[in-house]
């Protein structure tokens, strides 16, 4: 007797994203795995945790000329923004696609994101994780690319200068711009997955 089969389901996909914070030398980057059933809004939370941001500012994705974020009724934008909470990654991502994620419209931290690999999965894992990465996330409100790049250059050439001491007093004495803790980051991403990506 044949065993009855359940309903067919669409395959799940996992995407390896290369995320690079533009304009910083040495580069700050992450390789992040995400899944097709996650929303673009979930990706926002994933990027915040993977990079090390705190979510204190506005953000926006630009993909294939379209803008995605959280629409606001008082927003008088000339370019319409689509609701990122209603879009699944599986409807957008494909191998070779490049797009941007802008965080903090004042400091303008722009992240270039490329889809490097796509894998088919039988079941979703339900949590993102970072495969590799380098560089600490800049502290919030640190002056954008020009201000942070100036600090990095002084940190390497004049680590005991007054400007470096003042920056570290403000950012935290234990701040190391070249340190990235992948294990702590993945633990944070796992907690986000348990909490449904902050929804």
H/E/C letters for each residue in 129-161?
EEEEEECCCCCCCCCHHHHHHHHHHHHHHCCCC
Higher pLDDT among residues 194 and 123, named by residue: 123
Give the per-residue pLDDT at 10: 66
Residues contacting 99, CB < 8 A, separation 6+: 61, 62, 63, 64, 113
- In a domain, residue 7? The reply is no
| pLDDT digit string, tens, across residues 53-90 | 999 999 999 999 999 999 887 776 677 899 999 999 99
Q: What is the mean pLDDT of residues 8-26?
A: 89
**Sign of the CA dihedral 39, 103, 65, 18?**
negative
Percent of the chain with pLDDT over 90: 76
Q: Is the pLDDT of residue 194 over 80?
A: no
Q: What is the mean pLDDT of residues 32-47?
A: 96
Instruction: Tell me the residue range of the domain where 28 lies.
Output: 13-137+178-198
- In a domain, residue 160? The reply is no
Give the per-residue pLDDT at 72: 80
Q: Find the range with the poorest average confidence among 5-14, 70-79, 99-108, 186-195.
A: 5-14
Q: Is the pLDDT of residue 2 over 80?
A: no
Report how many domains make up the chain: 1
- In a domain, residue 147? The reply is no
Question: Does residue 174 come out as left (phi exceeding 0), alpha (psi in the -120 to 50 range) or beta?
Answer: alpha
11 DSSP assignment:
P
Give the per-residue pLDDT at 76: 67
- In a domain, residue 37? The reply is yes
- In a domain, residue 32? The reply is yes
Distance (Å, rounded) from C-alpha 96 to C-alpha 104?
A: 26
Distance (Å, rounded) from C-alpha 10 to C-alpha 46?
A: 24
- In a domain, residue 59? The reply is yes
Q: Which CATH number belongs to the domain containing residue 50 in this structure?
A: 3.10.290.30
- In a domain, residue 155? The reply is no
Higher pLDDT among residues 72 and 42, named by residue: 42
Higher pLDDT among residues 9 and 15, named by residue: 15
pTM: predicted TM-score of the whole model, two decimal places: 0.89
- In a domain, residue 102? The reply is yes
């Amino acid at each position: 007797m044949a065993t009855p089969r359940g309903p067919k389901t669409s395959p799940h996909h996992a995407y390896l994203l290369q995320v690079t914070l533009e304009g910083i030398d040495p580069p700050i980057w992450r390789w992040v795995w995400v899944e097709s059933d996650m929303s673009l809004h979930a990706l926002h939370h994933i990027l915040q945790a993977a990079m090390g941001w705190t979510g204190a500012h506005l953000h926006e994705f630009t993909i294939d000329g379209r803008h995605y974020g959280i629409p606001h009724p008082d927003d008088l934008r000339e370019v319409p923004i689509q609701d990122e909470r209603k879009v699944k990654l599986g409807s957008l991502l494909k191998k070779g696609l490049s797009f941007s994620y802008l965080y903090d419209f004042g400091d303008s931290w722009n992240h270039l994101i490329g889809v490097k690999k796509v894998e088919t999965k039988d079941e979703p894992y339900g949590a993102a994780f970072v495969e590799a990465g380098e560089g600490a996330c800049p502290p919030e409100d640190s002056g954008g690319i020009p201000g942070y790049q100036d600090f990095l250059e002084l940190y390497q050439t004049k680590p005991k200068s007054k400007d470096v001491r003042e920056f570290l007093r403000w950012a935290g004495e234990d701040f190391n711009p070249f340190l990235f803790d992948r294990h702590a980051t993945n633990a944070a991403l796992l907690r986000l997955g348990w909490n449904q990506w902050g929804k």
